[in-house]
């Protein structure tokens, strides 16, 4: 049974991805803050008969994130798939954006994927196979008013992925970034954009690249514009 480490499984794309992978027989390790929403995801996974375990950490807390990753390896082992999906946005004009709000968005959206990847990569590389998928955003390619920190973090995530892909070249490992557009989630509320795809659309795409796509997609940027 393949094992996938997934962040941001409490709602939206993360929850849909957890359920999609569970239906395909993947064991899930859920990394994130404990919440009623995450409990709801766990209940849905249990109803599917899925094998899963939650590891609690606030991804804005670097020490807690690293400790949770080390607990994953110590208790379960090395995941075959790492999906950095968790994200947060705080919409406000730049002149009103506090340093704390800026730092929090970059911590969750960019620093946490770096820390998780850094902690998992040595063991994944030693095993010789594995996939690291980053859920970025179409905001990785365009700007958006009142979302400067979010856009900066997602641009940074794609740049991080591209550098990681170069380091993984000829290793048999694969990393890529998925760039969904307007997804019908809570995060879209207040953006001014209408939904053009569902979380399930994105989840099925993640599952394809996690499980089915050949490793020649290393370094790819997968844009999803909707219908």
Return the active site residues.
Answer: 150
CA distances from 74 to 77, 120, 149 (A): 6, 11, 34
DSSP 76-144: T---SEEEE---------GGG--HHHHHHHHIIIIIHHHHHHHHHHHHHHHHT--EEEEE--GGGTS--
Q: Any idea which residue has 């027989």 for tokens? A: 25
Smallest CA-to-CA distance from 154 within 133, 167, 135 is with 135
User: 31 — phi, psi (to 5°)?
Assistant: -115, 120
């Amino acid at each position: 049974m393949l094992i996938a480490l997934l962040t941001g499984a409490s709602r939206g794309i993360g929850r849909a991805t957890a359920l999609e992978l569970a239906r395909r027989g993947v064991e899930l390790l859920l990394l994130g803050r404990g919440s009623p929403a995450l409990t709801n995801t766990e209940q849905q996974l249990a109803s599917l008969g899925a094998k899963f375990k939650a590891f609690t950490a606030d991804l804005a807390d670097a020490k807690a994130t690293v400790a949770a990753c080390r607990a994953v390896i110590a208790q379960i082992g090395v995941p075959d798939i790492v999906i950095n999906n968790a994200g947060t946005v705080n919409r406000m004009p730049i002149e009103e954006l506090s340093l704390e709000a800026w730092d929090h968005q970059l911590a969750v959206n960019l620093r946490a994927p770096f820390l998780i990847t850094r902690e998992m990569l040595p063991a994944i590389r030693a095993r010789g196979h594995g996939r690291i998928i980053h859920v970025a955003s179409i905001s990785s390619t365009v700007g958006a008013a009142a979302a400067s920190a979010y856009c900066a973090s997602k641009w940074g995530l794609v740049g991080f992925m591209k550098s990681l892909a170069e380091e993984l070249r000829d290793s048999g490992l694969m990393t890529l970034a998925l760039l969904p557009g307007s997804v019908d989630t809570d995060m879209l509320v207040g953006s001014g954009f209408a939904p053009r795809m569902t979380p399930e659309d994105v989840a099925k795409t993640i599952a394809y690249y996690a499980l089915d796509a050949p490793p020649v997609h290393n370094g790819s940027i997968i844009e999803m514009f909707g219908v």
